[in-house]
Amino acid sequence: AKEVMRPKILIVDDDLSIIKFVKANLEANNYETCSASDGEKALDVIVQELPTLVLLDIMMPTIDGYEVCQRLREWSQIPVIMLSALCDEQDKVKCLNLGADDYLCKPFGLDELLARIQAVLRRSDVAVAKPAKPVLISDDLEINFAERRVTVSGREIGFTLTEYTLLQELAQNSPKVLTYQLLLRRVWGPEYADERHYLYVYIRRLRKKIERDSQNPSHLISIRDVGYRLK
């Protein structure tokens, strides 16, 4: 029988006891793991190992998690879950703005960690699922679902996994309005239905990429107090 590829997860933390704890539990749940104890090493390991997902601590020596995430996003769309003892909304929004897919507060329980990992990996399944219509064209925006390519005025645009999944969800339901809760449930998962700041950050990111003027969007329309639609 052909062996099923197990997702490989890179754990980046300067606290070795956390690496040990997370590694043991992920491996017990059928994930492969690799690890790094600082930001510089993490970037090297990502290049060598090409993990499926990165668990990235923020407070680390040499370069911190914010900078690792920023540098990684310059060339890679590998999903990133940030880990931090800083848990206010500003920190979450900062991480999401840098391109992180999710944010987990320390100390965290194993069930919550596994749920977050599964939610992010579920997004990658959604992103490769066969959509109902192969291509959507709206003015200067073209989305080719079969090839996962998005072009604006003929120029190809790069997206993170979460950005693409959100855009695909809106595009597949265009021109219907999708509520905040529905988008959060479908893109992030049922446990995110109230995390509206995730949506605000990612809609802003999408607008920067697909709109001529992100302050006056012509594609991605807000329906006040309800949700969004793709025109």
pLDDT tens digits, one per residue of 9-19? 999 999 999 99
Residue 189: the pLDDT is: 84
Average pLDDT over residues 32-51: 93
CB-based contact 219:211 (threshold 8 Å) = yes
Residue 117: the pLDDT is: 94
Average pLDDT over residues 85-108: 89
For the chain, the farthest-separated pair of C-alpha atoms sits apart, in whole angstroms, at 55
Residue 30: the pLDDT is: 93
Average pLDDT over residues 2-12: 81
Instruction: Give the chain's mean pLDDT.
Output: 87
- The tokens describing 54, both together, are 């990165």
pLDDT tens-digit map of 42-77: 999 998 998 999 999 999 888 999 999 999 988 888
Backbone angles phi, psi at 22, to 5 degrees: -65, -45
Alpha carbons 131 and 77: distance in angstroms, whole number: 21
Residue 158: the pLDDT is: 86
Among the listed ranges 82-96, 133-147, 149-163, which one has the minimum average pLDDT value? 133-147
- The tokens describing 188, both together, are 């992030």
Residue 133: the pLDDT is: 61
Helix (H) or strand (E) holding 223: strand 220-223
pLDDT tens-digit map of 131-149: 556 677 777 888 887 777 8
Among the listed ranges 99-103, 129-133, 148-152, 181-185, which one has the minimum average pLDDT value? 129-133
Task: List the beta bridge partners of residue 221.
Answer: 229
- Tell me the percentage of the chain whose pLDDT exceeds 70: 94
Alpha carbons 181 and 151: distance in angstroms, whole number: 28
Q: Residue 1 above 50 pLDDT?
A: no
Residue 4: the pLDDT is: 58
Alpha carbons 189 and 199: distance in angstroms, whole number: 12
